[in-house]
Amino acid sequence: MPQQRLYYEYENGDLIPYWYALTFDLCEIDWDKPAYYFEVIKPFEYIERIEFDESLISMSIQLADFIFNVNYPNRIGINLKSIKKRIEKHGVDPYIVQQFILSTPELNDFLMFLPQERKQDFITIC
């Protein structure tokens, strides 16, 4: 499961989110699949923007790349097919990408889609 971080800065005493980052282990994503689903963990790990790790190979993503399903509010999908197309357009092997970045202003819209609290699903075994 990717690490989820929200990078921010303080401006005039206000916490301003800048990037939502999903950081993966190398080869964690199977690019042959059409989508990648992960569990939303909120609250996120908040990190100051100055601490962003620029050494990771990152890809900018858009709100349209996310897949939301009201039946699974704690899980979000990422449309790998469209992201892979954009990565390969730049001549990059998708398997080396370790991080997806969603920037403002789409970040604010994305945060509104997320559940306010994490709910645990329980399975009963008979």
Question: In the prediction, which pLDDT does 126 show?
Answer: 46
Question: In the prediction, which pLDDT does 43 show?
Answer: 60
Question: In the prediction, which pLDDT does 101 show?
Answer: 94
CA distance 43 to 27: 26
Question: In the prediction, which pLDDT does 44 show?
Answer: 67
Grouped pLDDT means (10 residues each) for the chain, 126 residues? 88 86 91 92 78 93 89 87 94 94 78 56 48
* Count of Cβ atoms closer than 10 Å to residue 87 Cβ: 19
Question: In the prediction, which pLDDT does 94 show?
Answer: 95
Q: What string of DSSP letters covers 53-116?
A: -TTS-EEE--GGGEEE-TT-TTEEEEEHHHHHHHHHHTT--GGG--EEEEETTHHHHHHHHS-S
Question: In the prediction, which pLDDT does 120 show?
Answer: 46
